[in-house]
Amino acid sequence: MPELNDFDWSTFVGGELGNVALLKELGRGVMGVVFTGFQKTLKRQVAVKVLLKSHASTGEAWNLFRDEGEALAVLNHPNIIPIYEMGETDDCYFQVMQLVEGGDLRSLIKRNLNHPLPSKRLIPLPETLDIVIQVLDGLGFAHEGGVIHQDVKPANILVENRNKRPLLADFGIARIFAAEYLSQGKIVGTPLYMSPEQASSATTDGRTDIYSMGVILFQMIVGTLPIKDESAVEMIECKKYMPETFFTKKPGQVPPGMDAELERIVLKSVEPDPGDRYAACQDFIEDLKKYRRFHLFRTSSGPATGHLV
């Protein structure tokens, strides 16, 4: 399969896909490139995700892409980016979706970590919990509709500038590659955030997205995850054969630390065995809401609220 960077994506700029004129490249991931576009019929700016047919080479790719788009089209949820249009040309498949005025969670985490003031290097805990709860609500809604993301990571969570609302992206393309890769015994997902069952190319369900959100929650609270300095391949091997050793420290042992109840929530969300994890996103949400209600602003001599504002 050719690499994304092997293709001259600038040839798309100035062209049209469906009724959208492509204006500029907005970003690229492992599986596709996103452009800013102008939807002529409704006179609005949109985001256009393009997947080359050479990057989804099986005959089933378009059916999967179409079916997933149709499933997402009826998932009307404030924390899932809506799809406006979908189609194909001789060279590519494309999806037209809402353009989010903001950045992704990965950039937000990184920007905070680089802040010159140590007290500002982590997203405040109340904001962290709000983001995670909202994303889990969107994922739970998708799971109820039979759609599993399978590549939940900070780069796939966009955060609006104005109201900090998080929106999930990249459902459809992740599913296409899941079907293609798993049929060949290959692995789908991002090693740091993928669940042990993904690393083993096993059957996945909504609990694999819960694991990924648990890793994200862990990362947002402590800044830098306590893991070995390993390559992506070594990371996958660890999750496949020794998942209980992936994190080298318990959440409460990593500065600025967290209290026992929040540590319990994080550890339950990233249990290596999916049977020991939260069974559904709503269960995860309820525990986070209870924590926020009863523990968040409690003062103590311990490290429970080390980075609250």
Phi/psi-derived region of residue 229, left when phi > 0, alpha when psi is between -120 and 50, beta in every other case: beta
Catalytic residue among 6, 67, 91, 151: 151
Per the annotation, the verdict on 151 as an active-site residue is: yes
Closest CA to 151 of 184, 109, 183, 182: 182
- Number of helices (H) and strands (E) in the chain: give both, helices first: 9, 9
Q: In this structure, how many other beta carbons lie within 10 angstroms of the beta carbon of residue 238? A: 19
Q: 137-153 burial by CB neighbour count: b if 16+ within 10 A, else e?
A: bbbbbbbeeebbbbbbb
In 3D space, the residue among 173, 209, 188 whose CA is nearest the CA of residue 34 turns out to be 173
Place of tokens 């893991």: 227
- The answer to whether residues 23 and 35 touch, using CB atoms and an 8 Å cutoff, is yes
Angle, CA of 256, 260 and 265, to the nearest 5°: 95
- Classify residue 224 as exposed, middle or buried by CB count within 10 Å of its CB (0-12, 13-18, 19+): exposed
Query: Under a CB-based contact definition with an 8 Å cutoff, are residues 99 and 42 in contact?
Result: no
> What CA–CA distances, in Å, run from 96 to 92, 107, 246?
13, 23, 38
Strand order in the sheet with 157-160: 102-104, 157-160, 166-168
- Structure tokens that stand for 123 in this block: 């997203």
In the beta sheet, which residues pair with residue 102? 160
End-to-end CA distance of the chain: 48
Active site residues: 151
